[in-house]
Structure 1
Amino acid sequence: MRVLHIISSPRHDGASVTATSSLIDALRERHPDLDVDTLDVWHEDLPEFDERVIRAKYKWVDGDDLDDAESRAWTKIESLARRFREADRIVLGVPMWNWSIPYKLKQLIDLAAQRNLLFTYDGVHFGPAVDVARADVVFVRGQYYGEDGPTPGSIFDHQVAFVEFFLRTIGVRDVRSLIIDRTWDPAAAEAIADGVARARELAASD
Structure 2
Amino acid sequence: MRVLHIISSPRHDGASVTIASALIDALRERHPDIDVDTLDVWREELPEFDERVIAAKYKWVDQEPLDAVESRAWAKIDDLARRFREADRIVLGVPMWNWSIPYKLKQLIDLAAQRNLLFTYDGVHFGPAVDVARADVVFVRGQYYGEDGPTPGSVFDHQVAFVEFFLRTIGVHDVRSLIVDRTWDPAAEEAIADGVARARRLAAAD
Query: 1:122 and 2:126 equivalent?
Result: no
Q: 1:126: Cα distance to partner?
A: 0.2
1:163 deviation in Å?
0.1
Aligned ranges 1:55-66 → 2 under 5 Å: 55-66=55-66
Amino acid at match of 1:160: V
Shift of 1:33: 0.3
| Matching residue's letter, 1:27 | L
Whichever residue aligns with residue 122 of structure 1, its letter is D
| Other structure's SS at 1:5 match | strand
Hey, what does 2:104 align to over in structure 1?
A: 104
Inter-partner Cα distance in structure 1 for 2:142 and 2:69: 41
Q: Distance in 2 between matches of 1:99 and 1:15?
A: 16
Say which SS state the counterpart of residue 21 (structure 1) adopts. helix
Q: Over aligned residue pairs, what C-alpha RMSD do you find?
A: 0.3
1:145 positional shift = 0.4
Q: Distance in 2 between matches of 1:52 and 1:24?
A: 37
Identity among equivalent positions (%) equals 90
Spell out, residue by residue over 1:132-175, the C-alpha distance to the aligned partner (whole angstroms, 9 max, x if none). 00000000000000111000000000000000000000000000
Moved over 4 A (4+): none
Q: Which runs of 5+ in 2 are unaligned?
A: none
Q: TM-score, normalised by structure 1?
A: 1.00
Match of 1:42 in 2: 42
Aligned AA (2:154): S
Structure 2 length-normalised TM: 1.00
* Residue of structure 1 in register with 2:173 after alignment: 173
Matched, 1:139 2:155: no
Which SS does the other structure have where 1:124 is aligned? coil
**C-alpha separation in 1, matches of 2:132 and 2:62:** 28
Partner of 2:11: 11
| 1:74-113 equivalence runs, <5 A | 74-113=74-113
Q: Which whole-Å CA distance do the structure 1 matches of 2:80 and 2:129 have between them?
A: 14
Partner of 1:157: 157
Shift in Å, 1:44: 0.1
* AA aligned opposite 1:164: E
- Structure 1's unaligned 5+ residue stretches are none
Partners of 1:67 and 1:75 in 2: CA distance: 12
Separation (CA, whole Å) in 2 of partners of 1:2 and 1:162? 24
Q: Which amino acid aligns with 1:6?
A: I
Distance 2:68 2:91 in 1: 34
Tell me, what secondary structure is at the counterpart of 1:138?
strand
Residue 56 of structure 1 and its aligned partner are, at CA, apart by 0.5
State the Cα deviation string for residues 26-52 of structure 1 (Å, max 9, x = none). Answer: 000000000000000000000000011
Aligned length: 206
Distance in 2 of aligned mates of 1:187 and 1:69: 50
In structure 1, distance between residues paired with 2:69 and 2:183: 43
The aligned counterpart of 1:24 is: 24
Work out the CA distance in 2 between the residues paired with 1:82 and 1:26: 25
Return the alpha-carbon distance in structure 1 between the equivalents of residues 44 and 8 of structure 2. Answer: 11
